[in-house]
Structures are given as structure tokens and as C-alpha cells.
Structure 1
Amino acid sequence: MAADPSAGQKVRHLDATELIAAVLDPGSYRSWDSPVVDPNPSPEYRQELAAAREKTGVDESVLTGEGLIRGRRVAVIVSEFRFLAGSIGLAAAERIVNAVERATREGLPLLAGPASGGTRMQEGTIAFLSMVKISAAVRAHRQAGLPYLVYLRHPTTGGVMASWGSLGHITVAEPGALLGFLGPRVYEALYGTPFPANVQVAENLFDKGLVDAVVPPWQLSDVVDRALSILVAGPHARVRPPRTLSVKPSDAGAWESIEISRNPRRPDLRQLLAYGARDVLPLNGTGQGEKDPGLLLALARFGQKSCVVIGHTRPRPSQQTAMGPASLREARRGMRLAEELGLPLVTVIDTGGAALSKEAEEGGLAGEIARSLHDLIGLNSPTVSVLMGQGTGGGALALFPADRTIAAQHAWLSPLPPEGASAIVHRSTEFAPAMSEAQGVNVASLYAHGMVEHIVDERGDAALEGRAFCQRLGQAIEYELAALSAAGVAELLPQRLEKYRNLGGLVPLPL
């Protein structure tokens, strides 16, 4: 997903009932709300509540219930901003928690549409503390493996943005919405100067990797439907073994494969998702203010099998996409999503190397590679890695460990580019071809050592048959995902550890 092209245009902000009508299938909404009990309001506050109820026609600042989105049952929590600026007091918080807990009990995905100035000032610290119990309910929902989707509306600030508004597995935002922790009016009152313009705007949050997309309300049902078609799996037929299971390593030498893999026309992860997958839903950034073009994160289905995908993207002519530390923090977001949603993880390796820069060092690149390896080797989800092209250095290693590894015939994996290895050993790059052979970087060597289990043929060169190659690779991924899903993680994890423990055949004898 990308920022919506209509962003920046004037958008009418829908109230709660209008948003529910826009997103849910017609006539499918059913309220879960019970009458509210007000917390001993003062006379002034009682008058404010009465006026808000008369103005809006609703009894509190949130509406909860369920409905259908493209025929799929979904729970919803939607703020009504016209009711005391969508603020959350004790009654509203209790309504939210009851709805989240009911969605969890009934195994329903949950769509939240906050639009709020934060906690209700008239109720003080106790209302403020209610953000804790809302967050706890959302945590339990997520821990149950149920999708929690958030649509940030205009405006969402304060305690709501700092709790249930920022906990989505997938978070999208309304075009032009004011979104942030700090209310601009509060900032100006405290500091006597306006808050900088365009910082807390949805489109800026997308650019900074804080939200996954910016979409208008009338497109929200499309996004939710795409997400849930991946996240909520139905029964699947048996996956037929692909022809690639019989493919053997190429007879080409290591250096020949390296040169083939460096063809700028070679298909990459973008083409794999376009031609080899279906129902692809790209996500955006770490969710923590970082976005690096060196890595792509998405939800996808390969054939019938849903998964989280993380992988390198080849640089476009105007881009530098070497993997930096933010790329790996985004990758680790994908790993967490896979574990929490009970989905397998597919990693795609195709990189000329990690970023070599002052910024990468100060950003903790080495530590992020280590944490990625740590998380992958023990990930509580089935894992498939795909060695699609170049596999240079720590940037490649960080995404390699998996239960099963698929490789394109001319892919390779090396601690350094062969030219770099030659320079270290021979003080010259001219020995790069010989070094690549000696180091065993090609698929034939990896296959012989048990590090690659499934090879996808290139029929000469994948660059000459991009669509067909990606379709074969997609079928191979579907098959491996299906095979892994037949085994439980409790069975897979020790096998994964043993696979790497036995690498090289030098396992020490027991004492």
C-alpha cells in the first residue's frame, strides 16, 4: 500500500455511524452497547454529558458492535468525536474493554476507528488510568492470535493515540488526519508558539514508517478485506508437489552464477509478489518512526498459503537500498507479526551487502543483524527462506535461517563480495572468480551441505523469463509452506536448531 493519491485534498470526516455504514456490509451492523453508567458527575459535567447526547444522538464517545465486511464477521469499535471530542472516560473505557473481550471470546478480528482528543479531563486521573485496562484487553486479543486492525481518524491524540490507537497489527490512517501524542492547542498554550506544521499529519506519519497506508474511508473495507483474506485462513486443499522438487544445482561455476545474479534486469521480490503471490498487502516501516527502502514487508498468500514476507529489494536507478539497521528493525516487526498471528514467515535474500556507513554503525547495524539471527533461529512460527539472487555478508545472513531454504539456481551466499574476499587474501580483486569457487558460495555447495533443500530452475537466466521464474518460485514457496504447516512448531523448532548445529559435520563427541 502507498499513501493515497487523494491525500492533501479536503476530506469530509465521517462521524461514527457514517463510518460504520461506509465500512460494513449494508444492514449487517449489530450494536453491542449497553446503557452507560455515569461516574457521579458534577452538575456542570452532567450538563455537558446531556448536551453531548442531545447533539450527537448517542450516549457515549464510542460505539461498539459487530457486522460483516465482504461477508466476514468483524467486531468494531468506533469513536464519536462530536461527543466531548471523542474523549475517553470511565464509561467509554468500560465499553471498549467489554467489546475487546467479547471479540476475543468469540474469536473475531477487531477493527478500531479512534478519533479522540484523549482521556476525559472532567474525570481526571482515574479516566487516564483506564488506558491501561484498554491496552491490557488489546494485548489479550493479540495474544489469542486474533487480528487487531486500526484506522486512525481525524483527530487522534493524547492517551488514545498512546494506547489502543497505536497497537494495531496493521495501522492505516485517514487522509489529512491530525495524529500525534501532543495536542497542538496544548503545545501552543504551554510554550506560546504554534507546533511545527505538517508534523502530525497522516501523510507524514506514512513517510516516517509509523502507519502502513493512508486511505479514505470508502476504501477501508477493501484494505480490511485484503488483510483478513490473508490473516483469517479457511480450509485448504492439498498442495500438489511442484516440478521444481526434482531440480538439481546448476553446472555453472560460482563466478558465472554471480555474474548472472548481478544482471539489473533480474526479477526481485517485487516481481515475485506481483507474479508468484496473491492478495498481497504491503506494510510500511517499523511502526517506530523508521522506514528503509532496502527491505519490503508484506502480508501475502502464495497459492492457498498465507504468510508474512520480509525481504530485500533491488535498488532502483535513483535509489540506494543497501540494508541499514532500520531495515532489520522492520524485518523484526515482521517476525513478531508472524509469531503473534500464527502465520509462517518467508524471508527473501537478494542483497549486494549491508550498508557501510557512519549512520549504519551508529544505528547499531551489527547488533540488529545479531538480534535478527537470534529471533529467526528461535522463531515460534514455521519459516522458509528464499535465496533469490545475491547473498552478500551480514545483510544476507540476517534473513537466512529457516526450517526450509529454497534457492534460485544462480543465487549465492558469501561473507563478502568475492572481490572483497580477494582483496583481503590477495590484496587484489583480480582473484575474485577463484575465491568464489574456493569459498563454496554457490547453490551446489549450499545444497551439498544441507543448507538448501529446494532449487528453482532458471532455464538459463531468470532475467530472460521473469514472470515464469517468479511463478515457479511462488509454487515452490506454497509447497514448502504447506509441508511445514502439517508439522507443529514444537516439532519444527528442534529440527531447525539441529540443522544448523550439524553444519559442517564437525559436531563434537559427547564428554
Structure 2
Amino acid sequence: MDRISALDLVALVLDEGTYESWDQPIDVSGYSPDYRAAVEKAAQRSGCDESIITGRGLVRGRPVAFVLNEFGFLAGSIGRAAAQRIVSAVRRATAEGLPLLASTASGGTRMQEGTPAFVHMVDISRAIMDHRAAGLPYLVHLRHPTTGGVFASWGSLGHITVAEPGALVGFLGPKVYELLEGRPFPSGVQVSENLARRGIVDSVVLHEELPSVVDRALGLLVDPVTDATRTRRPGVEPGTPRRHGTWESIEITRAEPRVGARDVLRHGSDATVRLQGTEEGERDTAMLVAFARLDGVPCVVVGQDRTTQTPANPMGPAALREARRGMRLAAELGLPLVSLIDTPGAELSPGAEEGAIAGEIARCIAAMSTLEVPSVSVLLGQGSGGGALALLPADVVVATENAWLSPLPPEGASAIVHGDVDHAPQMAQQQRVSALDLQETGTVHHVVPEPEDDSPEALARAVAAEVGHQLRGLLDARGANGLPSTHA
């Protein structure tokens, strides 16, 4: 694999002429003669005085601090001087209110320095978490190879984490494993593409794509609200004659074509960065999590994807854990949260029970109910059971005209009350599950109309316009757009 150096990354990502180094000279006077010679040789070979370079610059005009690993310097290993350089840079970035970009390529702790260097991973992690606690974005780029204490500390703490194609990324180096265990490490496990599939990293990014990825991420996490560009539809007023009966609306939400969360992101967002998984080795395609700019308003979106939920692949507990990741990110970064509800119901199985499906529903409800950032939830289509309720609590609840919310699918309610599924239409009407019923009872605050000639794209744009309008109202009510200083 062709490696890109730390200095090449500076030239690739930062605006030309904006690089400013924060690094102080390294004191090697206390090193042994052999170690000093190795360090001097590494410096000559790599063009860097240590395995870490730090500083600040501009990315498309936005100031950003950086911490970059140089693998050519003693395999990117982290000794005490390198660790102190990282901590100093992160602390300075926090004090100056700067987003932080890190790029790793390291075998881990420097063996020549042993435990005194190893324990500095704690200091690095503490500094990064203080940076995150200040509401400042932390972006991580994992290069080949990233292993050991680097991956187990600052390489795994990003708000957004991307990796090089084909990069070796793992906790234990495969050569070390083979020597210790007497057999090779299974191939394909510690590879960036596998980590993306497992929800440990968010995406795999080519070098030439990295500048645009960083630019898009910073645009979502740093840039202010912009003007609306999509047209709102006048809301359906309570008492307006209904276009469809309750059961007909339910059938509409189950039919194709029908607007979904993907449509809202595709047609309603000015920019999007998708996140994958829980960061903890779980990924459920039933849930979409993304940083987005819905009709000009930066936000975190968690949405149930109607295109991936089937009887064979229902929404499981991992999907709700992904949603909670989005909620945590919104709270930490001071961004509004938007939830898109569209599910035929959460998974009902022994595996779901053992995966704490009920607990995850409870924790989602608790998290959304106690968010301190502005929030809007959207009943986009089907809203069946606890899996739908998990994403409902918000400052403002919007619904499309044909959306619905019920304790169980109407067929399930019919089975409980009547012992058959034939009374499902009757049960749906009796339980007042429709968006218009929910508006009358106060659960839904605004209904987006669905005219007869509607299309998924047009409805997605209208939903985004309404969400953007509601978020602007919530942000304005909080003053200064309700966002932390990085968004000013």
C-alpha cells in the first residue's frame, strides 16, 4: 500500500499557505546513545523531528487544528515527547475553540520507552474528551497501519471516523498475534472495509476524497444556519375534511412508491455525512444516522429506513443503539436533533429480547425526552409500536398527512381484541392512530399535506422545508441560533 506522509496530508487538506506549526523542538538529551541515534536517523528519513506534527491551518477558509501521525518516524510510535505534543495541541485547540483533525498511522506505544510512554495514552484521551466536552468537533482519519494504543485511545474517539481503503486497523498487530499464539490472525478482520461493515468506522475514503470529506464535515459542524431554499406547504388545519380514511392512509404508507428517510436526506438536505453503526461493533441497516443540513439548518438526523426493514430483517436493538449515538452527538455538539419515524415495528424475537430491545426503546425515549438541544420528530409513514415511540419525543412533532402511530400494528390490535386480523381497519379507526387524529389530541403539532399528485421527492422536500422552519423557530427562541460558539 502506498503510504501518504503527514506533510503530504498537510498539503492535501489545508488551504495553501495556511500551515502553522505548533511544535517545539524535541529534547533528546536524556535518550541513550542508541535511542538518540535511532531518533536522528528517523528524523532524516521522514523529514519530521518526531512521530507527531501538530498545528493549525485553514480548510476552505475555516480554521482547524491538526494532529498528524508520521509512520516514517519509528513506525509512528508514540513516546513521551510525542504524547506530550499531542496533549499540548489538543489543549490549545480547546482553548482557542478550534475543531480538531487527527490522522493516525502507528504501531502504538514506542517500545524503547515502555510503560512511561504507554500511560500517556490516558493523558491523550483525557485531553480529547475535554475538547469534545467543549462542544468542539473531532474528526479522525485512520491510515495504514493503525494499531495498539493509538487505535485504543485517540484513534477511536472521533465524532466522525474515516479510514483509508485496505488499511490495517486493529488493536493487536497480526505479527504479534502470530508470534504469541503460534497461528496467523484471520485475514480480513483488521481491515478498514470490514470495520465499516461492522459499524466501527463510518466510511472508507480515498486520499483524493479526503479534502472534500473534511470540508463537508466542517461545513455541517461549524458553519451557521443558511437561508431556506425549499417551499413549505400550508399545514392541514384541525377539522379539515379528510382526503382518506384511516385504513386507506395506512395502506398508502405501506405501498410503493412512498417517501422515506433516504428521500428526505437526498432531496431535503444541502449536505450530508452518513455515520455507520454504534462505533462498538454493531450496525443495523434499519437506522440511518447522519449529520445533515435540512433546508439550511445543520442538525443530526436519526431515521428509520423503510427500504431495509422486512419481516426477515426487522429493526433490532442495535438500530436503537445507533439512534442513541446520534442523540449523544447532537447533545455534545449542540446541534438540533431530527428523528424520522417510519417502521412496521421493532424486532420480536429471542435475539431481540437478549439484545435488550425493551431497554433500548426506554433509553431512546429517555434520551429524547431530556435533550437540551432543539428537536423535531417526524411521523413520516408507518409508526408501529415501541420502535416508533422510541423516536417520538421532541419539542415539535410533525407528521405527513397519511402517517400514523399505534401501540401495535392494527392487525395485532385486532388479534388481541377480536381473535382475528380481519378487524384491523376498524381497530385503526377506533384507536385514533392517524396523523389528523393525533393532531386533534395534541400529540402532533403540524401536519404536512399530501395532495393526490404528490411524489416521494416533492413530499421529501416539503418535509425538509417544514423541519427547517420549525428548527429555525426553536433556535431563534433560544437566542443566537441556540448553537455553541463554533457555529457563530
TM-score (norm 2): 0.94
1:192–1:347 CA distance, 2 compared to 1 (3 A):
same
CA contact (8 A) 1:247 1:456 kept: no
- Give the structure 2 partner of residue 233 of structure 1: 223
**Separation (CA, whole Å) in 2 of partners of 1:366 and 1:317:** 18
One-letter amino acid matched to 1:477: V
- Give the structure 1 partner of residue 416 of structure 2: 424
- Give the structure 1 partner of residue 486 of structure 2: none
One-letter amino acid matched to 2:386: G
Query: Is 1:289 matched with 2:281?
Result: yes
User: How far off its partner does 1:448 sit?
Assistant: 1.3
Instruction: Look up the SS of the partner of 2:186 in the other structure.
Output: coil
CA contact (8 A) 1:145 1:341 kept: yes
**Separation (CA, whole Å) in 1 of partners of 2:232 and 2:96:** 38
Query: Is 1:213 matched with 2:203?
Result: yes
CA contact (8 A) 1:115 1:155 kept: yes
- Give the structure 2 partner of residue 360 of structure 1: 352
Query: Is 1:21 matched with 2:6?
Result: no
Q: How big is each residue's C-alpha offset from its partner over 1:315-340, in whole Å with a ceiling of 9 and x where there is no partner? A: 35999542100000000000000001
Q: How big is each residue's C-alpha offset from its partner over 1:104-140, in whole Å with a ceiling of 9 and x where there is no partner? A: 1111111100111111111111111100111111011
Aligned pairs for 1:100-499 within 5 A: 100-234=90-224, 236=226, 242-245=232-235, 247-248=237-238, 251=242, 252-316=244-308, 320-460=312-452, 464-488=454-478
**Separation (CA, whole Å) in 1 of partners of 2:459 and 2:79:** 56
1:329–1:183 CA distance, 2 compared to 1 (3 A):
same
**Separation (CA, whole Å) in 2 of partners of 1:198 and 1:242:** 48
User: How far off its partner does 1:413 sit?
Assistant: 0.2
Query: Is 1:91 matched with 2:112?
Result: no
**Separation (CA, whole Å) in 2 of partners of 1:14 and 1:469:** 44
**Separation (CA, whole Å) in 1 of partners of 2:328 and 2:354:** 24
Q: How big is each residue's C-alpha offset from its partner over 1:440-480, in whole Å with a ceiling of 9 and x where there is no partner? A: 1011221112111111000037xx41211111111100001
CA contact (8 A) 2:369 2:394 kept: yes
CA contact (8 A) 2:231 2:462 kept: no
CA contact (8 A) 1:119 1:128 kept: yes
User: How far off its partner does 1:344 sit?
Assistant: 0.5
1:319–1:299 CA distance, 2 compared to 1 (3 A):
farther
One-letter amino acid matched to 2:294: F
Q: How big is each residue's C-alpha offset from its partner over 1:410-430, in whole Å with a ceiling of 9 and x where there is no partner? A: 000001111110010000111
CA contact (8 A) 1:240 1:479 kept: no
Q: How big is each residue's C-alpha offset from its partner over 1:386-435, in whole Å with a ceiling of 9 and x where there is no partner? A: 00000001110111111100000000000111111001000011111111
1:240–1:326 CA distance, 2 compared to 1 (3 A):
closer
User: How far off its partner does 1:243 sit?
Assistant: 3.8
**Separation (CA, whole Å) in 2 of partners of 1:30 and 1:342:** 28
Q: How big is each residue's C-alpha offset from its partner over 1:239-280, in whole Å with a ceiling of 9 and x where there is no partner? A: 999443465566132112111111121110111111112101
CA contact (8 A) 1:250 1:410 kept: no
Unaligned runs of 5+ in 2: 483-488
Unaligned runs of 5+ in 1: 1-10, 493-511
One-letter amino acid matched to 2:417: V
CA contact (8 A) 1:23 1:218 kept: no
CA contact (8 A) 1:250 1:409 kept: no
Instruction: Look up the SS of the partner of 2:380 in the other structure.
Output: strand
One-letter amino acid matched to 1:91: A
**Separation (CA, whole Å) in 1 of partners of 2:96 and 2:196:** 32
Runs of 4+ in 1 over 3 A off after TM superposition: 235-243, 245-250, 316-321
- Give the structure 1 partner of residue 67 of structure 2: 77
1:230–1:247 CA distance, 2 compared to 1 (3 A):
farther
Name the % identity: 55
TM-score (norm 1): 0.90
Q: How many pairs align? A: 478
Query: Is 1:67 matched with 2:60?
Result: no
**Separation (CA, whole Å) in 1 of partners of 2:148 and 2:415:** 55
- Give the structure 2 partner of residue 8 of structure 1: none
* RMSD between aligned residues: 1.9
1:319–1:141 CA distance, 2 compared to 1 (3 A):
farther
CA contact (8 A) 1:64 1:78 kept: yes
Q: How big is each residue's C-alpha offset from its partner over 1:69-99, in whole Å with a ceiling of 9 and x where there is no partner? A: 1221111111010111101111101111111
